[in-house]
Amino acid sequence: MTSAPLAARLTAPSGPLFFPVTAYGPDGEVDLDVYRTHARRGIEAGAAAVFACCGTGEFHALTPEEFQACVRAAVEEAAGRVPVLAGAGYGTALAVRYARLAEEAGADGLLAMPPYLVLAGQAGLVRHYREVAAATSLPVIVYQRDNAVFTPESVVELARTDGIVGLKDGLGDLDLMQRVISAVRTEVPGDGEGPGDDEAPRGDGFLYFNGLPTAEQTQLAYRALGVTLYSSAVFCFAPEIALAFHRALRAGDDAVAHRLLDGFYRPFVELRAQGRGYAVALVKAGVRLRGLDVGEVRPPLQEPTEGHVKQLAQVIERGHALLDGEGRK
């Protein structure tokens, strides 16, 4: 692994991992000024890292030019205070192109999204991500979900690949994750940087992320596997709640975590399940409820109904009430 600085910055984050939405103006074009405001507010609220133009940021809907402009804007707003990672996806050639655009824009790392559409075998998937990793000097986190699901043996191969530093799990198979973590921990060799290091395991330095939608809902289970990193879409529109939950996890305060899970996260997840694409569309609606007009989602996603937006406002209000003033601004 050549990315120890980034890995070290992500290992024990001081706040949630922030996946900003992409802002569009009334004409449907990317609104970089609003996007900058959204990114800046998230960083100032306590985000430990910015993952620009990923799933919540509608990577699928952006042109290469829009993608690079948004990544550059996030990098400029971060100004080195927190790392900025960018999405990269589609087939290998396009994923490589997006990776290089992100590097040119100043990103600190990449989240490699699943390949477009095809159902590939394990050897083909490993080759795909190795080519993406080889295309730039940026460290790569591989996103497992949908048509990119790996055996433990394949993750070992990825972990042995220079530049690949972690796995984000959007599948939710905890049995598989336990086997993956065990395999990497026991089978990935040392980095050879010092005497005897060739025999020392380095698998414990490989990063794992809970990447399920509304990851807080499952994070207590992932924590039991030793997975402490997770994405937080809620942070986009309710940073106080996301920060309170993050603090509770770090402190081992399960009473606070359970109170937020029962009173806010479970109702939010149940509302999210009411519509396809709500993992993004409902988040953007939440950001608008906070007073920042980030526009609507681009098709093929669709907006939540008026009734669901009203329910979202009520869920957010209940979540804030649960904080009893803690973390409120």
Active-site residues, by number, are: 143, 168
Question: In whole angstroms, what is the distance from residue 107 CA to residue 285 CA?
Answer: 27
Phi, psi of 3, deg, nearest 5 = -120, 40
Closest residue by Cα to residue 161 from 197, 201, 134, 138? 134
Residues 6+ positions from 321 with CB-CB distance below 8 Å: none
Q: Answer for the pair 198, 216: CB distance below 8 angstroms, yes or no.
A: no
Q: Length of the chain, please?
A: 329
User: How many Cβ atoms from other residues are within 10 Å of residue 50's Cβ?
Assistant: 27
Residues 6+ positions from 1 with CB-CB distance below 8 Å: 7, 139, 162, 163, 164, 165, 191, 202, 205
Phi, psi of 19, deg, nearest 5 = -115, 85
